[in-house]
Amino acid sequence: MRNGLYFLSSLSDSDIDWLVTAGQRREMAAGINLIEEGRPIDSLFLVIDGAFAVRTVDPEARGTTRLLAGEVVGEMSFVDSAMPPATVQALEDSFVLAIPRRRLNARLAEDLGFASRFYRALSMLLADRLRASIAAVSGTAPLDENGELPVDMMDDVGMAIARFDWIQQRLRSA
């Protein structure tokens, strides 16, 4: 959920309300692909409940990555419009919030404040993932020895968790 904290902490309450309103709840049965490597995607996803595996067809790739509730998925393809470099498959019955690319792009073009906060959220998320990748390759801890979030982010963590809980409650009742 850590990258979701970065994402949600950079947005305002009204931004999150818009994402939930503009998005669609998608149920995913275990074994179903949310994203397929090399095939275009039409949405950015927020994992609301469940677990997903990220895999590539490359036989030399090391292991799989596991995504849990709160993770943002499809952000790389959203940013650069390239085909996804991996398949994301539900490991268990799960559901996501799918924010359609077309609606999101329209909102980004019409609301510069939202665009600024949204792209900051994405850049924080991607920077965190890059740090984790470098740490995995180099064998070092991505943050500190305990895996703690940066001190300057701690103030926003409580708000981000509350926002995610609100999203979960709203979508579970939908």
| Burial letters 59-71, b for 16+ CB under 10 A, else e | eeeeeebebebbb
| Domain count along the chain | 1
Supply the pLDDT for residue 5.
75
How many CB atoms sit inside 10 A of residue 46's CB? 25
How many CB atoms sit inside 10 A of residue 139's CB? 6
- 18-27, 64-73, 127-136: which is most confident: 18-27
Strand partners, 95: 27, 49
| Higher local confidence (pLDDT), 164 or 16 | 16
Q: How far apart are CA 146 and CA 143, in angstroms?
A: 8
Name every residue whose Cβ is closer than 8 Å to that of residue 30 and which is 6 or more positions away in sequence: 90, 91, 92, 93, 94
Contact 47, 84 (CB under 8 A): no
Task: CATH number of the domain at 54, please.
Answer: 2.60.120.10
Supply the pLDDT for residue 144.
47
Question: Average per-residue pLDDT in the chain?
Answer: 86
Q: Tokens standing for 18?
A: 């818009």
Inform me whether the pLDDT recorded for 13 exceeds 80: yes
Supply the pLDDT for residue 2.
60
Rounded to an integer, the average pLDDT of 62-83 is 89
Inform me whether the pLDDT recorded for 90 exceeds 60: yes
Contact 48, 168 (CB under 8 A): yes
Contact 75, 44 (CB under 8 A): yes
Domain of 103 in residue numbering reads as 2-172
pLDDT in tens, 23-72: 999 999 999 999 999 999 999 999 999 999 999 887 666 667 899 999 99
pLDDT in tens, 137-150: 777 755 544 555 55
The model's pTM: 0.84
* 93: nearest Cα among 28, 148, 155, 3: 28
